[in-house]
Chains A and B, each alone.
Chain A
């Protein structure tokens, strides 16, 4: 097919601007559906087969997005009558990408949320809040006592906090009871007080 005096774009030809707009919308919708579907499939398979980590997440995300890249190229290279149409058609692409990123990140971080210990013999309850921005806050009887940042590599957590003169702690996370309970096993921590406290902690996820 040839357009009425329109130049050809790649292998896609359109008679009218309306047809072009419809085609772009179809590509964008298909793209969004493909991204979400494939990403979910990959997440599921990864969780079953391997321990999630950043490298695997990157690879799986690339695989999820690679096939529609050709469609994406066409979306960007086609002419539009206004930039507003372009933005509107890009919305499904952006939303699906953000959803995949959030979904991936949340599914790869089993620490996210609040964890609490049982009361000790002195009635002391420790709560730790792990946040999505890699920061955490610790509380003793609801009083803030420590703040820091953490990194997760599989089930190994490394972190620094505002105590212990900036010394890094590396701990293996032992989840049990369907991932709702957690123990910390010291791998490397020069801060003796912190090591002693964390090794004794058993925490349950607060729902």
Chain B
């Protein structure tokens, strides 16, 4: 009887995850899912930087360099495809890929599940939440469920629009929003609640030479997709440099200068979208205003 009471008390003291998202959060930051147990998802998707990385490409197990810039893992609820080339159709599919990738966590799913099953706590957690041993489905589900909680909707821009409070943003930010929707043509690709249409676009960062990542075509096998990459959402963009699929643009200002005249930055590009056929002709003030607007998309949790 006393033993039973002690066990019941112990179970109440167990600070395990209470739901799938909490389990996913725990796994997200646990290097148990990498070969040498040094890298976790959070190593590259850094929470303080809107779950993106701060380098052009990330460093994986064995100091291996990744091939593309780590995108933010926030605001994924309305996205339809994942990765720069859209090769994952669901968040669950995306969640397991970095674990297997030899340049990232380099661990087979079988070995990952063995580790979790042998782990004293994870075995209990999975049993409590999924009523089963760890398997590929519930591992992916836990990670994806956690990632779906990473939504931000409390930036100065959100306050301005949702609360009708024009004092939440500066005049420069308001002008920048106008430029975003008109002269800057940004809205043509960055339209929506997370400022992305989720389409694949070639903005002129493929020239078949130094810039030889051909993007979406590897997945779709459609020649029209050469050089196309997924349009990234712009929420919290000011804290996720560097930019583009290869991290070649270091600041927001470089991004704006690139879009203003892409031919100037990458002169021999291949298959660039016709939206960017001509320079935008932005003035210095317009560029500053546009940058101010992009900064206004930063959630207050990152202040």
When the two chains form their complex, are residues A143 and B181 in contact, meaning their CB atoms are under 8 A apart?
Answer: no
The yes or no answer to B151 lying at the interface (CB within 8 A) is yes
Which residues of B have CB within 8 Å of A143? 153, 158, 193-194
When the two chains form their complex, are residues A140 and B187 in contact, meaning their CB atoms are under 8 A apart?
Answer: no
The yes or no answer to B64 lying at the interface (CB within 8 A) is no
Find A144's partner among B77, B187, B193 (CB 8 Å cutoff).
B193
When the two chains form their complex, are residues A145 and B192 in contact, meaning their CB atoms are under 8 A apart?
Answer: yes
C-alpha gap A56/B8 in the complex (Å): 75
How distant is B161 from chain A, measured CB to nearest CB, in Å? Answer: 4
The yes or no answer to B90 lying at the interface (CB within 8 A) is no
The yes or no answer to B3 lying at the interface (CB within 8 A) is no
Find B158's partner among A144, A146, A147 (CB 8 Å cutoff).
A144
Minimal Cβ-Cβ distance residue in A for B151: A141
How distant is B291 from chain A, measured CB to nearest CB, in Å? Answer: 19
When the two chains form their complex, are residues B157 and A144 in contact, meaning their CB atoms are under 8 A apart?
Answer: yes
The yes or no answer to B188 lying at the interface (CB within 8 A) is yes
B residues 160-181 touching A (CB-CB < 8 Å): 161-162, 164, 181
When the two chains form their complex, are residues B191 and A142 in contact, meaning their CB atoms are under 8 A apart?
Answer: no
A residues 152-207 touching B (CB-CB < 8 Å): 162-163, 165
When the two chains form their complex, are residues A141 and B77 in contact, meaning their CB atoms are under 8 A apart?
Answer: yes
C-alpha gap A141/B153 in the complex (Å): 8
Which residues of A have CB within 8 Å of B188? 165
The yes or no answer to A122 lying at the interface (CB within 8 A) is yes
How distant is A45 from chain B, measured CB to nearest CB, in Å? Answer: 34
Q: A163-B187, A163-B191 are in contact. Are A144 and B162 (CB under 8 A)?
A: yes
Which residues of A have CB within 8 Å of B157? 144
The yes or no answer to A98 lying at the interface (CB within 8 A) is no
The yes or no answer to A22 lying at the interface (CB within 8 A) is no
Which residues of B have CB within 8 Å of A146? 191
The yes or no answer to A103 lying at the interface (CB within 8 A) is no
Number of A-B contacts (CB under 8 A): 42
Which DSSP category, helix, strand, loop or mixed, fits chain B's interface?
A: loop
How distant is B284 from chain A, measured CB to nearest CB, in Å? Answer: 25
Minimal Cβ-Cβ distance residue in B for A131: B164
How distant is A137 from chain B, measured CB to nearest CB, in Å? Answer: 6
The yes or no answer to B78 lying at the interface (CB within 8 A) is yes
Would you give the 0/1 interface string for B141-156, flagging 1 where the beta carbon is closer than 8 Å to chain A? 0000000000101000
Minimal Cβ-Cβ distance residue in A for B177: A147
The yes or no answer to A139 lying at the interface (CB within 8 A) is yes
C-alpha gap A124/B148 in the complex (Å): 12
Which residues of B have CB within 8 Å of A139? 161-162, 193
When the two chains form their complex, are residues B191 and A140 in contact, meaning their CB atoms are under 8 A apart?
Answer: no
How distant is A155 from chain B, measured CB to nearest CB, in Å? Answer: 26
When the two chains form their complex, are residues A140 and B162 in contact, meaning their CB atoms are under 8 A apart?
Answer: no
Which residues of B have CB within 8 Å of A145? 191-193
When the two chains form their complex, are residues A122 and B187 in contact, meaning their CB atoms are under 8 A apart?
Answer: no
Which residues of A have CB within 8 Å of B153? 141-143
Q: A162-B187, A162-B191, A163-B191 are in contact. Are A144 and B161 (CB under 8 A)?
A: yes
Which residues of A have CB within 8 Å of B78? 124, 140
When the two chains form their complex, are residues B161 and A137 in contact, meaning their CB atoms are under 8 A apart?
Answer: yes
C-alpha gap A63/B124 in the complex (Å): 79
Beyond A137-B162, A141-B153, A162-B181, 12 extra complex contacts between A and B, CB < 8 Å: A123-B77, A124-B77, A129-B164, A139-B162, A140-B78, A142-B162, A144-B193, A145-B192, A146-B191, A147-B161, A162-B191, A165-B188
A-B contact pairs, 21 of them (CB 8 A): A123-B77, A124-B77, A129-B164, A137-B161, A139-B161, A139-B162, A140-B192, A141-B77, A141-B151, A141-B193, A142-B153, A142-B158, A142-B162, A143-B194, A145-B191, A146-B191, A147-B161, A147-B181, A162-B181, A163-B192, A165-B188
Chain B residues close to A by CB (< 8 Å):
77-78, 151, 153, 157-158, 161-162, 164, 181, 187-188, 191-194
Chain A residues close to B by CB (< 8 Å):
122-124, 129, 137, 139-147, 162-163, 165
